[in-house]
Amino acid sequence: MRARLLTALLAALVLFPAVPARADTPELPDRIAAAWRTDHLSVDPRLAGGIPATELTRIRAAMRTAGTPVYVAIVPSTPPLREVSYNMPTLLHARIGTPGLYLLAVVNGTYWSISAELYRAGGLRGRELVSVQNDDKQRLDVVTDRPAPPIVRTIQEASTALDGRPLPAVPAGDLEPPHEYSDHGLSTTDKEDRSAYIGMGIGGFLGFVLTLLLGLRRRRKTTPKRIKPPAKDDPPIDTWDVQLKADDRIKAAERAVARLDRRRNRTTAQLDRRDDAYRRLDAARTLRADHPEDLLASAGALILARQAERVASGAALQPPCFFDPTHNPGTATVDWSDDVEVPACQQCASVVRRGKTPRGLRVWSKSGLLGHDRKQVPYWTLEPDNPMVASGFGALSDDLPERVEAWKDEVR
């Protein structure tokens, strides 16, 4: 297995320089966008013929009744795609420009994974897609060895997010068969699977109670704020929004890790990914639990949960945008002050390339006598006595989970 992986890696290393980074074929997002001009369901030519017509028919039927334009691209997993698949719906929407659901389905062996973003027409309000997915009790049980079940489910969730229609039940044929523990007695792996799963269940429940309590507490606090003009002490960006996003991402990561936990015959690589995902997820939960009101801790939790979800789903790890971790991931690298190289999102990268410093994530700093001179400063100008500032939310060094752990012991 190892030898095969090594051979594949070597083959990739040998092959890649031979293929120019920008071959004469258009880049993948351009190719997909071009294909969508004639058909909103695009199947990569490398997969053509490999997907049963019945699967495509089901996907088309779901697209027709979604209540919004749905763009679906089905592509094979390739190393360059693994770097960007998280951003692909955004890149694709940028090329098409119309509101709708943008869905990328990537197949890796027999495993289908979905990235999707819902873009609404201006003024239309509804729920976030990820929030509907978190509440979808059946999402975790949908099989991922065929394209139609996870794609159709995602389209249904998007419709619910858009117009509040109830989520239909998943057809029995799309659900993973229940584990048969009683038949042959429990193997060691099954026992581990089961205890980890039960653990997840309890953790999930506690997490839910915690979120609920935090939500209730904050709602009471924030209601009067909406009536009054914003107080001077209000954080410069909506902390509440970052907290919500972090909690949504934590739930999404829990789903991804649980899904990986329940797979049988996991490879060593999958077990390593599971451990790494848990490490990041635990740190995210610690930050939310120990510093529920803190903007930096919430943003740190958001990043760690986003990474845990990616790692558990088999996608490549992405650093955050150094300037503002709530931005898109840091897929570009830029030279910044004193020739420090930092990962940055595309927007911040273009600002730096113009010789400017991005606005960045701003926090209130107390300065002056009695801390009366309060002003908004970029977070990286603060004393690095907190793990998020010290590591640039993991953008400068990928050790945020360890730093959070050490910080927890320090604070106690």
Q: Shortest Cβ distance from residue 321 to Zn ion (Å)?
A: 3
- CA-CA distances (angstroms) from residue 120 to 68, 86, 103, 104, 153? 9, 19, 14, 18, 19
Q: Shortest Cβ distance from residue 247 to Zn ion (Å)?
A: 22
**C-beta of residue 380 within 8 angstroms of C-beta of residue 386:** no
> Residue 339 in 3-state DSSP?
helix
Q: Which stretch binds Zn ion (CB under 5 A): 110-118, 187-195, 269-277, 314-322?
A: 314-322
Q: Which stretch binds Zn ion (CB under 5 A): 17-25, 158-166, 239-247, 315-323?
A: 315-323
Beta strands in 3-97 (DSSP E): 41-43, 70-76
Q: Which stretch binds Zn ion (CB under 5 A): 65-73, 167-175, 191-199, 313-321?
A: 313-321
| 348 near Zn ion (CB under 5 A) | yes
Q: Shortest Cβ distance from residue 200 to Zn ion (Å)?
A: 33
b/e per residue 385-404 (b: at least 16 CB within 10 A): ebbbbbbbbbbbeeebbebb
| 73 near Zn ion (CB under 5 A) | no
Cβ closer to Zn ion: 132 or 348?
348
Spatial CA neighbour of 99 closest among 67, 57, 65, 59: 67
Q: Shortest Cβ distance from residue 324 to Zn ion (Å)?
A: 5
Q: Shortest Cβ distance from residue 291 to Zn ion (Å)?
A: 23
| 321 near Zn ion (CB under 5 A) | yes
> Residue 140 in 3-state DSSP?
helix
Contacts of 127 (CB under 8 A, 6+ apart): 160, 161, 164
Of positions 327, 334, 352, 392, contacts Zn ion by CB under 5 A = 327
How many angstroms separate the CA atoms of 383 and 289, rounded?
23
How many angstroms separate the CA atoms of 357 and 361, rounded?
12
Q: Shortest Cβ distance from residue 348 to Zn ion (Å)?
A: 3
Strand pairing partners for 106?
75, 113
Total residues contacting Zn ion by CB under 5 A comes to 6
Q: Which stretch binds Zn ion (CB under 5 A): 114-122, 245-253, 272-280, 326-334?
A: 326-334
Q: Shortest Cβ distance from residue 378 to Zn ion (Å)?
A: 12
Position of tokens 């606005």?
Answer: 359
List, in sequence order, the alpha helices (H) in 20-163.
Answer: 28-36, 53-64, 79-84, 88-96, 129-135, 148-163
| 252 near Zn ion (CB under 5 A) | no
| 323 near Zn ion (CB under 5 A) | yes
Cβ closer to Zn ion: 104 or 345?
345
Query: Six-digit token pair at 250?
Result: 């934590």
Q: Shortest Cβ distance from residue 342 to Zn ion (Å)?
A: 10
Of positions 92, 345, 388, 390, contacts Zn ion by CB under 5 A = 345
| 118 near Zn ion (CB under 5 A) | no
Contacts of 324 (CB under 8 A, 6+ apart): 345, 348, 358, 359, 360, 361
| 352 near Zn ion (CB under 5 A) | no
Site residues for Zn ion per CB under 5 A: 321, 323-324, 327, 345, 348
